[in-house]
Amino acid sequence: MIRKLFNQLGIAIKSYSYSLDFVFSKKPKWLIIPALANFVLLLIVVSSAILYADEVITWVFGMLSLSPEDSWWGKFIYWMSLISIRIFVILLFIKFYKYLMLILYAPILVWLSDSFQEYMTGYKRPFSWPSFFSDVWRGIVIAVINLTIEFGLYFVLFVITILFPVLSVVTPALSFLISSYFLAFAFIDYRNEYYEVSASGSRKFVWAHKIFAMGIGIMFNLMLFIPIIGVMVAPSISLVAAGYGANIIDRRARYNRIKNMQRSRPTPL
């Protein structure tokens, strides 16, 4: 178990090292459009989070009748709740940004993922608009499903934190890991989509390699902490890293799928 954990984490780290070199040295143009769009989107979301955080805090405190008391324990509970709610509200908006990015940029992510897989395999899939739109729609559906699941788990953690403020030290870390898993799943699924793996098969693949997925997602989330640049380059770099790492894990099955894809395509006249 420990060996598997370190092996999958090692693949995730190796994948990011490869991706950074690949994108910046060979495909810098892949950064331009996603970079500018991501920066504008994040500014809008963070501004909204700061603007509405106090309103959410006032509503929650009124609903729960929370107020500072004279005892040190009462004051401790009040301030822990205040800090926890503010953190959760800001994280909620940031989560919303990440999934909004996955939904709005699905066409770009499909194109980037297919281009990278074609580069790695040397096999170029015949392009068709129906297939492209089908891939885009699948990416959007996956993002919405993951968003729903993650927000459900996030709400449970939020309630636990309100009821047991002492656990506020632990719940942000759990939220971070959950977010990392589901975001990485979206990136890995674009690669699985290229190899015509079904959505259910893709979900099973990611769950079977959950440590690798979390490693990809953690690196993506950490990149967002790099001022300005992190937000602008994280999606493209993470997409390439997820595709590269999944190819390493799934090497034998990948070659078999390419052969099947080649046999199933009609030969050009």
Q: Which tokens in the block code for residue 166?
A: 């002492």
Q: Where are the domains of the chain?
A: 2-264
Integer Cα distance of 234 and 224 in angstroms? 7
Kindly report, residue by residue over 134-154, the tens digit of the pLDDT.
999 999 999 999 989 988 888
* 194 touches 117 (CB < 8 A): yes
- The predicted pLDDT at position 243 comes to 93
* 150 touches 179 (CB < 8 A): yes
Helix (H), strand (E), coil (C) string for the chain: CHHHHHHHHHHHHHHHHHHHHHHHHCCHHHHHHHHHHHHHHHHHHHHHHHHHHHHHHHHHHHHHCCCCCCCHHHHHHHHHHHHHHHHHHHHHHHHHHHHHHHHHCHHHHHHHHHHHHHHHHCCCCCCCHHHHHHHHHHHHHHHHHHHHHHHHHHHHHHHHHHHCHHHHHCHHHHHHHHHHHHHHHHHHHHHHHHCCCCHHHHHHHHHHCHHHHHHHHHHHHHHCCCCCHHHHHHHHHHHHHHHHHHHHHCHHHHHHHHHHHHHHCCCCC
- The predicted pLDDT at position 266 comes to 46
CB atoms within 10 A of CB 231: 23
Using a cut of 0.85, tell me whether the model's pTM lies above it.
no
- The predicted pLDDT at position 220 comes to 92
- The predicted pLDDT at position 154 comes to 82
* 182 touches 195 (CB < 8 A): no
The parts of the chain modelled with pLDDT lower than 70 are 1, 49, 53-54, 56-78, 81-82, 252-269
* 211 touches 4 (CB < 8 A): yes
- The predicted pLDDT at position 37 comes to 73
For 23, 36, 118, 211, the CA distances from 3, given in Å and listed in that order, are 30, 40, 32, 11
* 78 touches 66 (CB < 8 A): yes
- The predicted pLDDT at position 246 comes to 93
- The predicted pLDDT at position 267 comes to 43
